[in-house]
Structure 1
């Protein structure tokens, strides 16, 4: 029987989470085309990534914790580096294998979008390597709409992978 969602705590990621977050991400590097990274990371290599997500501002890192430890995380980060993109972010969710299908991705995105509603964010983008029906359903449930597809965009596991892009409009305008 799945663990009840009331037992899930969503909070900002901290330095103490770095090893667990790195291990979780490395699972996706090794086993899936969800990320196009092809080499695993050490915790020290991931430290700059962790610190690029402060507790305030549009670039967030939230973790979901259960009695089993870190069940997943969500991030919002820069969409592109040029200054005109400052009100746009790219979002992602990664779940531990034991946490898939338990509603934790939904909890993480609910928390992330609640925080982003208080920030100067106008658009949230997400790229999904295909096939990934669970991620497509999650993003569509949160109001993302499909805006395009890059065919054969990444080479991993001896084949090409397509990436479908989604966007979600937030109502913030930069002059507010």
Structure 2
């Protein structure tokens, strides 16, 4: 399936689908630590910005159906972190387990290397075993673990952070 996937920068016409994907995880899972669905404007601010280094991309099947999205966001707002990016991958629930996440990581890592990122970081809910395995199997090392740092659905939740050093600056 990976060879038939296309990645294109998120545009206005993609926002509704991207919002639906994200809000599914907000409402039904601990994948996102948002506790209320985002509005279209909030999603726009989250995935669309003017900085050419921090971009979001929809993942399209060969027939142009959105399968999910992947992004590089600013890791921290201080200049010393400019060579680091925070990555996230969100897939439609029906697309999970089809190796799309692995192809999304390859794409975003290639894009990050072209943009001269040195390190990529991903932070996931510790009970999200699929994401933890995705990052571990693709060369990311667990570099942090925070216990009971979030609360959702009346439960205290841990997070784990993973990093991959790409090289570059």
CA distance in 1, matches of 2:50, 2:93: 24
Please name the residue that 2:103 is paired with.
107
Please name the residue that 2:152 is paired with.
156
2:49 is the counterpart of 1:52: yes
Question: TM-score, normalization: structure 2?
Answer: 0.92
Question: TM-score, normalization: structure 1?
Answer: 0.89
Aligned to 1:117, the other structure's residue is in SS state helix
Contact 1:64/1:70, CA 8 A, preserved across alignment: yes
CA distance in 1, matches of 2:90, 2:50: 15
Task: After the TM superposition, list the runs of 4 or more consecutive aligned residues in structure 1 that deviate by more than 4 angstroms.
Answer: none
Q: Which of 5, 14, 38 lines up with 1:8 in the alignment?
A: 5
Aligned to 2:114, the other structure's residue is in SS state coil
Please name the residue that 1:85 is paired with.
81
| Change in CA separation of 1:68 and 1:11 when aligned onto 2, cut-off 3 Å | closer
2:32 is the counterpart of 1:35: yes
Aligned to 1:39, the other structure's residue is in SS state coil
Unaligned runs of 5+ in 2: none
Contact 1:60/1:112, CA 8 A, preserved across alignment: no
> Superposition RMSD on alpha carbons, in Å?
1.6
Please name the residue that 1:64 is paired with.
59
Q: Which of 19, 23, 26 lines up with 1:26 in the alignment?
A: 23
Please name the residue that 1:95 is paired with.
91
Aligned to 1:29, the other structure's residue is in SS state helix
Contact 1:63/1:108, CA 8 A, preserved across alignment: no
Moved more, 153-162 or 122-131: 122-131
Contact 1:88/1:122, CA 8 A, preserved across alignment: yes
- The C-alpha deviation readout for 1:10-65, integer Å capped at 9, x for no partner, is 222111101110111000000011110011012122222232275x32x1212112
Moved more, 130-139 or 62-71: 62-71
Q: Give the length in aligned residue pairs.
A: 168
